[in-house]
């Protein structure tokens, strides 16, 4: 909404969108479906969410293609309003080059939001911050401590460069919400759609007190190492292939035994067999149109022995399927 309002000179909430030029938002093919929903809610329309093809092992937005598309849309009468960059997409960990995206945005005067809902937790480890290099240039960033740091659901952290723009988008000040005689007090009811807010920051405070920063770093480093080790073990097994290499603790694989004509159906059956086995739970995705199986270490109490057990479960279930 802030992205939209800033581009419209703060007139969208007042005038509506019917008299405005069609708006355009840009993202990679790896963003979470929450972005699609946000486009609906903002009234921009899913046809105006333009997905830029990815490149490289992290399937990052092609910055040159992004720049070219923005110019084309503006020349065609559209109003580009912003870009959503992805760091650690849910499907296979797709990650954009944030610095390159921000450079294109600066050239065209566009808002940049960075969605690091899952992978953002890993940034407590300095060595992983390379995955969002340039993030300080973004206008807003979100990550969810409940996804990988171990905070109780729900707990999302939203960082904004310019709080005044957010407040200008969302603030409504009826007389009954005014606090007289307290100038300078931050009214967080003006920072989000709901007026009321739970004390979610307390969850993070307790988490840090209980685990400590080094404890959280150790957990995430272990998850990354264990996931990488499992990917290497599966790659060495007959009839398994790694479809996407580990991005932090997430990778995808496929089982390709000889004589199977429909590999997509076979791998969907393998996911079902693994989950019915009950030792672990996995989900599927599609990579370039083909079914792949996702594996991610992220449970706060996970151990290396659990990951070893996952290897056994995957291999044994695959052997039963043939």
Tens of pLDDT, residues 247-261:
999 999 999 999 999
The order of strands in the sheet holding 49-52 is 49-52, 23-28, 79-86, 111-115, 140-143, 157-160
Q: Which residues contact 145 (CB under 8 A, 6 or more apart)?
A: 121, 151, 155, 156, 157, 203, 204, 207
Structural domain range at position 223: 213-321
178: domain CATH number?
3.40.640.10
248 plus 293 within the same structural domain? yes
176 plus 250 within the same structural domain? no
69 plus 193 within the same structural domain? yes
Average pLDDT of the chain to the nearest whole number: 93
Pairing of strands 79-86, 23-28: parallel
Indicate the pTM of the whole model: 0.90
Q: Give the CA distances from residue 153 to residues 97, 98, 150, 217, in Å, rounded to whole numbers and listed in that order.
A: 29, 27, 9, 20
What the block records as the tokens of 86 is 């992805």
- The dihedral built from the CA positions of residue 296, 237, 290 and 67, taken in this order, carries a sign that is positive
Tens of pLDDT, residues 12-37:
999 999 899 999 999 999 998 899 99
Q: Is residue 236 part of a domain?
A: yes
Output 182 or 237, whichever has higher pLDDT.
237
Number of structural domains (the chain) is 2
Are the CB atoms for 189 and 196 separated by under 8 Å? yes
């Amino acid at each position: 909404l802030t992205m939209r309002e800033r581009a419209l000179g703060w007139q969208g909430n007042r005038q509506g969108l019917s008299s405005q030029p069609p708006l355009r938002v840009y993202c990679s093919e790896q963003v979470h479906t929450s972005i699609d929903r946000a486009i609906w809610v903002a009234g921009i329309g899913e046809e105006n969410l333009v997905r830029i093809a990815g490149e490289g092992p992290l399937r990052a937005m092609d910055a040159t293609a992004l720049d070219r598309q923005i110019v084309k849309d503006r020349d065609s009468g559209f109003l580009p309003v912003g870009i959503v960059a992805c760091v650690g997409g849910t499907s296979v960990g797709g990650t954009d080059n944030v610095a390159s995206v921000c450079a294109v945005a600066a050239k065209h005067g566009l808002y940049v939001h960075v969605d690091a809902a899952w992978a953002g937790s890993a940034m407590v480890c300095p060595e992983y911050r390379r995955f969002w290099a340039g993030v300080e240039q973004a206008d807003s960033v979100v990550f969810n401590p409940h996804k990988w740091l171990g905070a109780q659901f729900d707990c999302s952290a939203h960082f904004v460069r310019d709080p005044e723009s957010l407040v200008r988008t969302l603030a409504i000040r009826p007389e009954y919400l005014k606090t007289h005689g307290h100038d300078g007090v931050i009214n967080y009811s003006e920072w989000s759609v709901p007026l009321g807010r739970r004390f979610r920051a307390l969850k993070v405070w307790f988490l840090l007190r209980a685990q400590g920063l080094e404890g959280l770093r150790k957990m995430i480093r272990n998850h990354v190492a264990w996931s990488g080790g499992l990917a290497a073990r599966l790659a060495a097994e007959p009839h398994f292939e790694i479809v996407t290499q580990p991005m932090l603790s997430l990778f995808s694989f496929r089982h390709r035994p000889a004589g199977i004509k429909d590999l997509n159906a076979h791998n969907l059956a393998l996911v079902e067999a693994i989950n019915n086995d009950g030792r672990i739970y996995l989900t599927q995705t599609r990579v370039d149109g083909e079914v792949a199986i996702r594996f991610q270490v992220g449970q706060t109490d996970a151990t290396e022995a659990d990951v070893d057990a996952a290897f056994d479960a995957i291999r044994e279930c695959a052997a039963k399927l043939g």
